[in-house]
């Protein structure tokens, strides 16, 4: 992600020389950085900055009372972190979290790690006890650097009030540049209360970091590299682009689409790369991997030139690295992070740089050199794979199938809605059966697989994109993790649509237990729980809260739910035995993929052939 600061200081800041408290400086720097929404929960150690935000909003509100920097209060700081993540992913800007010390800070550990794992840019500002009290086990003190340092891109502890401005600006710089990620600022209360002169400019001297970023930006593809790349492409008969979340984070979707379409190269994406290409296009193979589409996985097996763009060959995609893409003659890899090159899979050609620039240069090189390979036979093979090995399920069942629910929603939204999910079976069904015509419509916890992500992320996305339809696709187990955020949606009258696919338990765990543990549902069956999700939603202010348990009512109820003008909650009682297919077991190759009873399988593999020594 290469986003420029919102206020490049070519002229003196209009407030330069003004006396301000540290808290006021923090707020002013955030305003300069373009922050227009903050997510957080108050507490003693952060009160000075909360008060400064309140006063800033009161001073700058328009005649209709619109606040330029509203602070959104969740039910829990973890919710604030995921809201900021949803905001960042949907809008492509840095999300901001502001919490108090101690438990406020430690409650953000999970979303910070989640953002680090999925390269999501957020800045977390944590209140801290006064400097003199640090290390004394003071009330609500926590070692923020020790707790959050290992799971964040960078952590700052501010101990000098004269460096506060520079620290906040640098936090945003580090979060958004290079491979984006979460940055934490530990802010003692006495630093917030200190008074000083606002400079309006300046960054910390993190020279090593900036040198690495400058090197990546300056590493532009030359003609020799382009020639070598196209020599491999022109010697190929079945090239395939394998695109990951780096394309989304790098805002390079348009460039990828142009490159792929102009050269006729089919594209498959990772879970995090969904939306990088329009999934409704003929050359889009949608998602590959453990629960990827069979057609995509078979295309990977068949391709002879694999082009990895912003993807890292993780274990959900390349569970058996030595057997991944077995027919390839060459692999090329593009990334912004040098550590990803050859980390899992050896490659023949690579480039470290800015994806937007790289793809533009390659497209231009092909155009001026008249490179226009004929992959029509491969296109026919791709079309055949999609036709023969497409997704399918028991369409005649009397029970409501989760796949059918997603299809019914997709028929209405047409690949234009923002879809957020929790983690589990519902996450995979959503990834498989929804279409995505644009980037930043798909929000999910990929690498960390964090249950409870879906609802708060959807709320954050709705703040980021208030005019778009935002849907949280959740499971009965996953939504429990942050179910308190239902009230947040109604408190701010957000038109977010919440869907709970209820199979009375931890569905993905149950699927594996039924297959490999002789049906012993050890602590995963929630059928004896007494949770009434509809009453819960009603208690939290949802005016539309409906339970769907009759297949005949599905299309009507889904339409009413989506068209409801405010927050809307829909619980669907689905087939408890519905499974996620296709499925590639951990450590296995794609030719060992299990496709269930309704998706053809060219390898004739059964569940019994999968080793259950690893989970998921």
508 an active-site residue? Answer: yes
Q: Are 249 and 311 in contact (CB under 8 A)?
A: no
The confidence score (pLDDT) of residue 512 equals: 80
pLDDT band with cut points at 50, 70 and 90 for residue 606? low
Residues 28-55: b if buried by 16+ CB within 10 A, e if exposed: bbbbbbebbbbbbbbbebbbbbbbbbee
Distance of CA 235 to the CA centre of its chain: 36
The pLDDT, as a whole number, for residue 605 is 64
Residue 416 in contact with residue 569, Cβ under 8 Å?
Answer: no
- H or E segment to which residue 197 belongs: strand 195-197
Q: Is the pLDDT confidence value at 60 over 80? A: yes
pLDDT higher than 50, residue 314:
yes
pLDDT at residue number 586: 84
Answer whether 105's CB lies under 8 Å from 144's CB: yes
Q: Tens digit of pLDDT for each residue in 345-356? A: 999 999 999 999
pLDDT of res. 611: 55
122's tokens: 């957020």
- Tell me the C-alpha to C-alpha distance, in Å, between residue 236 and each of 91, 124, 150, 282, 330: 37, 47, 43, 20, 9
**Bridge partner list, 568:** 497, 544
H and E: helices and strands count for the chain: 22, 20
CA nearest neighbour of 120 among 149, 154, 92, 78 = 92
- Given 153, 156, 172, 189, the catalytic residue: 189
129-177 pLDDT tens trace: 999 999 999 999 999 999 999 999 999 999 999 999 999 999 999 999 9
Strands 330-335 and 349-352, by their bridges, are parallel
Q: Is residue 7 predicted with pLDDT exceeding 60?
A: no
pLDDT in tens, 486-507: 999 999 999 999 999 999 998 8
Q: Which positions ≥6 away from 363 have C-beta within 8 Å? A: 255, 258, 259, 262
With 70 as the cut, is the pLDDT of residue 5 above it?
no
The DSSP call for residue 557 is H
Average of pLDDT values for 345-373? 97
Cis peptide, bond prior to residue 582, ω within 30 of zero: yes
Q: Point out the catalytic residue in the list 54, 139, 377, 550.
A: 139
Burial-class residue 258 by CB neighbours within 10 Å (0-12, 13-18, 19+).
Answer: middle
- Mean pLDDT throughout 270-284? 98
What whole-number percentage of the chain has pLDDT above 90? Answer: 91
State the pLDDT at residue 428: 97
Contacts of the segment 544-548: beta carbons below 8 A, 24+ positions apart: 544/568, 544/569, 544/570, 545/569, 546/570, 546/571, 547/571, 547/572, 547/573, 548/400, 548/572, 548/573
Which of the two residues, 507 and 13, has the higher pLDDT score?
A: 13
Could you report the per-residue pLDDT of 177-209, keeping only the tens digit for each? 999 999 999 999 999 999 999 999 999 999 999
* Residues 514-560 pLDDT 10s: 877 878 888 888 877 889 999 999 999 999 999 999 999 999 999 99
Check residue 511 and give its pLDDT: 84
pLDDT digits (tens, 9 = 90+) for 81-133: 999 999 999 999 999 999 999 999 999 999 999 999 999 999 999 999 999 99
State the pLDDT at residue 514.
81
First to last CA, the chain: 30
Q: Is the pLDDT of residue 1 over 50?
A: no
Domains and CATH numbers, the chain: 19-216 (3.40.50.970), 219-388 (3.40.50.1220), 402-573 (3.40.50.970)
What is the rounded average pLDDT for all residues in the chain? 95
Indicate which residue of 24, 77, 166, 381 is catalytic: 77
Q: Catalytic site residue 189?
A: yes
Q: How does pLDDT run across 454-491, given as a tens digit for each residue?
A: 999 999 999 999 999 999 999 999 999 999 999 999 99
Instruction: Judge whether 518 counts as a catalytic residue.
Output: no
Band of residue 429 on the pLDDT scale cut at 50, 70, 90: very high
Note if 139 is an active site residue: yes
> Could you confirm whether 140 is annotated as catalytic?
yes
Question: Which pLDDT does position 2 carry in this prediction?
Answer: 43
Rounded to whole angstroms, the Cα distance separating 327 from 592 reads 16
* pLDDT surpassing 80 at residue 577: yes
The CA distance from 144 to 132, in Å, is: 16
Over residues 226-243, mean pLDDT:
98
pLDDT of residue 3: 43
Q: Which of 20, 508, 583, 593 is catalytic?
A: 508
* Catalytic residue (choose from 140, 360, 437, 468): 140
The DSSP line for 16-27 is TT-EEEHHHHHH
């Amino acid at each position: 992600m290469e986003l420029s600061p919102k206020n490049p200081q070519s002229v003196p800041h209009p407030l330069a020389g003004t006396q301000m408290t540290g808290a006021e400086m923090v707020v002013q720097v955030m305003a300069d950085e373009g922050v227009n929404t903050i997510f957080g929960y108050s507490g003693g150690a952060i009160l000075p900055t909360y008060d400064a935000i309140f006063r800033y909003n009161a001073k700058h509100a328009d005649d209709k009372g619109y606040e330029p920097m509203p602070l959104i209060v969740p039910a829990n700081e973890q919710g604030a972190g995921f809201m900021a993540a949803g905001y960042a992913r949907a809008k492509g800007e840095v999300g901001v979290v502001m919490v108090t010390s101690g438990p406020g800070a430690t409650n953000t550990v999970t979303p910070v790690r989640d953002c680090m794992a999925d390269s999501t840019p957020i800045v977390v500002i944590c209140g801290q006890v006064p400097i003199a009290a640090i290390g004394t086990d003071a009330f609500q003190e926590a070692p923020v650097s020790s707790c959050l340092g290992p799971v964040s891109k960078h952590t700052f502890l501010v101990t000098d009030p004269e460096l506060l401005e520079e620290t906040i600006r640098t936090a945003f710089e580090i979060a958004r540049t290079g491979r984006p990620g979460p940055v934490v600022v530990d802010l003692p209360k006495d630093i917030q209360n200190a008074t000083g002169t606002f400079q309006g400019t300046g960054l910390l001297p993190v020279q090593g970091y900036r040198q690495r970023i400058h090197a990546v930006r300056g590493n532009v593809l030359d003609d020799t590299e382009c020639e070598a790349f196209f020599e491999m492409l022109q010697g190929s008969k079945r090239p395939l682009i394998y695109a990951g979340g780096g394309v989304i984070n790098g805002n390079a979707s348009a460039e990828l689409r142009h490159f792929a379409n102009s050269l006729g190269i089919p594209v498959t994406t990772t879970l995090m790369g969904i939306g990088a290409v329009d999934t409704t296009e003929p050359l889009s193979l949608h998602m590959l991997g453990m629960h990827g589409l069979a057609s995509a996985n078979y295309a990977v097996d068949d391709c002879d030139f694999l082009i990895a763009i912003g993807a890292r060959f993780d274990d959900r995609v390349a569970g058996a690295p030595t057997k991944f893409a077995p027919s390839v003659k060459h692999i090329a890899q593009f990334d912004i992070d040098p550590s990803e090159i050859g980390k899992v899979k050896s490659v023949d050609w690579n480039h470290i740089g800015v994806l937007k620039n790289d793809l533009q240069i390659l497209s231009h090189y092909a155009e001026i050199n008249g490179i226009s390979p004929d992959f029509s036979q491969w296109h026919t093979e791709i079309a055949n794979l999609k036709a023969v090995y497409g997704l399918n399920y028991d369409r005649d069942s009397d029970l409501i199938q989760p796949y059918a629910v997603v299809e019914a929603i997709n028929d209405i939204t047409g690949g234009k809605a923002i879809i957020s999910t929790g983690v589990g079976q519902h996450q995979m069904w959503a990834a498989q059966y929804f279409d995505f015509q644009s980037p930043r419509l798909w929000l999910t916890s990929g690498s960390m697989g964090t249950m409870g992500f879906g609802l708060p992320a959807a709320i954050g996305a709705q703040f980021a994109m208030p005019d778009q339809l935002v849907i949280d696709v959740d499971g009965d187990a996953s939504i429990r993790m942050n179910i308190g955020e239902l009230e947040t949606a109604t408190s701010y009258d957000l038109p977010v649509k919440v869907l709970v696919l209820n199979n009375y338990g931890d569905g993905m765990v149950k699927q594996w237990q039924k297959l490999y543990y002789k049906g012993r549902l050890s602590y995963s069956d929630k059928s004896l729980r007494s949770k009434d999700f509809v009453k819960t939603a009603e208690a939290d202010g949802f005016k539309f809260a409906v339970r769907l348990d009759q297949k005949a009512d599905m299309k009507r109820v889904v339409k009413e739910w989506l068209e409801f003008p405010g927050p809307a909650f829909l619980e669907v009682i689905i087939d408890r035995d519905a499974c996620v297919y296709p499925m590639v077991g951990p450590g296995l190759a794609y030719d060992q993929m299990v496709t269930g009873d309704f998706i053809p399988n060219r390898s004739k593999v059964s569940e019994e052939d999968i080793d259950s020594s690893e989970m998921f």
